[in-house]
Structures are given as C-alpha cells and as structure tokens.
Chain A
Amino acid sequence: MEGQGRIWIMLAPVLVVIVCLYLGGLFLGLLQSLSYMPMIGQTVPNLQAYRAIFGHVEFWRSLALTLEVAFGATLISTLLAVVCALTLRGSFRGRRFVIFVFQLNLPIPHLVGGVAIIMLFTQSGLVARMARILGLIDTPSDFPALVFDPRGIGIMLEYVWKETVFIGVILLAVLHSIGTDYEELAASLGANPRQQFRYVLLPLMMPGILSASIIVFAFSFGAFEIPLLLGATYPVTLPVVAYRAYTDADLSSRSQAMAMSVVITAIITLLTYVYMRLSRTYLRSR
C-alpha cells in the first residue's frame, strides 16, 4: 500500500514547477506591482503603480479593447461552434472525412494563423483581391482595414478561426455522450424538432458550452502574440501594453507593467468565477 508520503514524493517535481515557477512568478509579479523591488532599492510597497495605470487613459482604452475582442471572439466562435457541432452530429456520407478536415487546425499554432490572416485580410490581401475581381473595389485602400486596425478585427478573425474548431470539437464529444435518446423521448411526448432543441438538447449541452467558452474567453483576454502581430499601433490590447511597459527602458514602468499583469490576471480570475457561479445557478441541479 502506498503511503501518503510516497504519493507526495511522486508529485513533488511537478509541484516544484507549479509552485516555484508558476505561483512564484505570480507572486513576484504581485510584489513588483506593489513597487517592491529590492534590486533597485525600493523596499516599501505602495500602490503607486496602480494609481499610475488607473489614471492613464491608455489603460482604460486598452482594457475596453481587450474586453471587446475577448467577448466578441468568444461569442462568435461559440455560436459558430454550436452550429457546426449540430450539423456534424447526424450521420451522413463522408462524415468522418468532414470531421477530420474540421479539426485540422487544432494543432496549428496561432502565429501561423496570424500570418495567414495577414495574407488574407489586409487591404492587399487575397480577400481584397477577390473583391476587386468581383468589381466591388478598385484600389487596396477601398477595402476596409481589417488587420492592424484599432478595433482588433483581424485579431478576432484569427481567434474565431481557431476557437470555433476548439469549442466545436468539445461540443461534438458532448453531443455524442448525450446521445439521441432524450430527444426521441421528448418527441414521443409531443415536442416538435424546434422544441426538442430548445427545451432538451440545448439545456443538456449548456454545461459543455459554458466550460468551453470560458476557456476561450480566458485565453482571448490574456493572449499576447496575436494582438502583437495583428493589432494596430494604438490602441492595443492590455497584455501588449503591459509588455511594452515592461520592455521600456524606464525602470519605473516595470512596476506599472506588473500592475497591469495583475489586473489582467485578476479580471480573468474574477470573470471565471462569476461565470462559474452563473452557470451553476442556471443549471441548478448540476
């Protein structure tokens, strides 16, 4: 019989990684955000950094943009994923092949998706050229700025491309485990197909939809690479602002960068928590 001690020894290395590197990193970030940086001689924690960023209009603009991009991407990809999963659910010829193609972009790195978005959706990109051939536009500048734009549309496009598939695959698994029995039962009780979807299938899918979309939201809110690649110079999303502040030559920006990171982490934690509470009350019996 394995003693408890033995178990914790087995878990020790992973715990070291998580506690030292991960939690340690968060903790150190928190300390630095409170201007506690013994390296440059500041040993008195204070809220200066926070006051600085909250007073800066750029912070709020970026926060707004980040929230917009995160909510927008999550909402759109969730809706699309539900449609895709429901469509792929039934049996039809070529189903396995279609599902295979559908989940092809799962292991593809976001950066590659970003590069492709640049090639497709910039004003001289493939889609713009399509528009020209169709006679909708004349010059590249006639095409709307979708990438490197202040509204983060390019960023959302990349997220939607990847996350729709991510959520869709999860929902397919969820639908598979639900099976068709409940709907058949509802049909035998008099529910027409629309009612079956609304009163039976959708509620049964909800836990899966909520879990998947909160993961997507957390990712979209805190991600850095795609906004850096596809975002405009200004405004940018919060993680990018934080990064810029961090790499600023001025060391005092460092604590502000940390403060922003802490805010980002706090917002994600808070929203995740609220989301989970809401979904629990929605689902009641779950």
Chain B
Amino acid sequence: MRAAATEVPARARRGGEADSGVRLGRVIRWAIIAGMVVGVLLPFVPLLLWSVSFSWRFPSLFPVEFSLRAWRYLGTPASKLGEALLGSLVVALTVTIISVIIGIPAGRALGLYRFKGKTAMEFLILAPVIMPGIAVIMGIHVLFIRYGLSDTPLGVILVHLIPTTPYVVTVLAGVFANYDPDYEDQARVLGANSLRTFVRVTLPMIFPGVAVAGLFGFLISWNQYVLTLIIGGGRVITLPLLLFGFARSGDKAIAAALALVFLGPAILMIILTTRYLTGSSAIGAFGRL
C-alpha cells in the first residue's frame, strides 16, 4: 500500500473512487473547498453587518456602533419601502399567475406531443434567455407609449412576461414530459367531464411542478430592474429600483438592510427547493436572476 501513497500526480483532480486516492491531493481539495465556501459566503457578511451598523468607517473591520436605525428607517414612509414592496409583490404575483396560466397548456403541448415545428418552437421559447433584455425593451417601449401602457403597472406586468415565460414553460414542459395522460382517460371513462378531470386529476398531479415553475416566475419578475425602469418610467416603484437608488447613495446601512429584504423570496426559494430541486432547467433559471 505504500507505493500508492507515493503515486502523487501534481493535479489531484480525479474524483470517483477515493480508493485509488492520493494523499497530497486531499490537502489541495480541502483548500479549494475552503476557497469555494469563503468565496460564496463572503458577500453576505458585509450585508449583514452593515444592516445593523450605526456608523462604520474605514479602517475598522467591524462596525463601531451597532444599531437598528437602518431597519427603523425602512419602517418609515419616507423610505418608500411600503410602496416598493407593494409594487414588487403585485407585479410579481400577477406575472406569476399569468405565466403559469398560459404556461400550463404550452408546457403540456411541448411535453406530451410531437408535432411539426416543435423544434422551432422550443428554440423560439428559449430565445429570450440568450438575448439581452435591453434591446427588446427599448424597441417595445414605443408601442407601449402608443397604447398608454407605459408608466403603468399593467405595462410592467406585460413586459415581465417576456423573461418569465421561457422558464415557466420549460419547467412545465418537463413536468408534462413525465406525466401520464392515461390518468385523465381513466377519469373520463369513469364519468368525469373535462373541467372535473382537470381539477381533480391533472392539477394535483402536476402541482409540485407548477409550484416550482411559479416560484421561478415569481423570482424572475421580482428581480427585474431594466424592464421596470424603462417601461415603468419611474412611476412604478419596485424593490430593485429602490435598492439601486440607495446603493449608489452614501447610506450603506440602509442599502444593506434593503438588500436583505430584497433577498427574502430568494431565501424562501432555497428553503423550499432544497427538498424538491432537481434538473438543470431549474438551475438555468437560477442563473439568470
């Protein structure tokens, strides 16, 4: 066994069977892991610390004075938090509901059936993922102005559908790909009409997938900045717009507290999906938030 220990390649990258393992490689591995963990978690540290600091000037490594003044400020109407929170919630929820409603039939079509033009359709659905939002938004703005949709929540909701729909449809297509429509036939044979079948059979079966798709849609809408900025024209206030304003201003404490509030749904998502999350479609959505 001693011979195995001296067999030490410079890059201990081979995973798999730890048996043919390399001692020195273990040290490197744990160093990389430490780097990873620190790298991922580090940005959260200043956010947490700043949000509870009173003043925290260079060069102190920790806040000199702790206080909840940032949070208290957020509680006042002057912070516009209430308005922004409401705006974000209303928009995101509406967007989620709409995209799920139109996404279910589309996902069903893509997941269950083969048809002419399917590949083109799949490609089309994914196009918004690659193309930058700014090009589309500036183009459509004119149309929205024309039809009185600009500067309105409705206009914002409509444009949010652009980035949300691809993900929602993709997740739902995946759900339906694993779905067996025979259950519906079974229900019909036993006497249920279409609506009942849908409510009693289809919906419960696809519900977990719908929940995931909805969460995605919600988060994507929740995080939108450019779209809301341009179409909302400054009249529709959502959390990211508010955060942006505070981020570039001097008050880091408020920005940090606001950022943590903004993080709320994301954290919820992590908790909820640690149990259910599989598949790269989910991961793809996360990456674009």
Interface residues of A, Cβ cutoff 8 Å to B: 2, 4, 7-11, 13-14, 17-18, 21-22, 24-32, 37, 39, 83-84, 86-92, 98, 100-120, 124-126, 128-130, 132-133, 140, 161-166, 169-170, 173, 175, 180, 183-184, 187, 192-194, 196-197, 201, 215-216, 218-219, 221-225, 228-229, 239, 242-243, 246, 257-258, 261-262, 264-265, 268-269, 272
Contact = CB atoms under 8 A, between A and B. Distances in A.
Contacts of A112: 43, 47, 243, 259, 262-263
A34 to B, nearest CB: 12
Contact of A89 (B16, B41, B136, B140): B16
A111 B243 contact: yes
Given A13-B105, A28-B139, A133-B61, A170 B289 contact: no
B124 A25 contact: no
Interface in B28-71: 29, 32-33, 36-37, 39-47, 50, 57-61
Given A14-B103, A112-B259, A194-B9, A239 B134 contact: yes
B269 A197 contact: no
Contacts, number: 302
Q: By DSSP majority rule, is chain B's interface helix, strand, loop, or mixed?
A: helix
28 contacts: A7-B115, A10-B109, A11-B105, A13-B102, A14-B103, A21-B162, A30-B139, A32-B142, A90-B15, A98-B33, A105-B40, A107-B266, A107-B289, A111-B240, A111-B243, A115-B255, A118-B247, A128-B59, A132-B59, A180-B17, A187-B20, A194-B10, A201-B14, A218-B130, A219-B287, A222-B133, A224-B225, A268-B131
A132 B130 CA distance: 42
B23 interface: no
Contacts of B252: 118-119
Given A7-B109, A108-B289, A109-B240, A193 B139 contact: no
A271 B171 CA distance: 27
Contact of B40 (A101, A107, A128, A258): A101
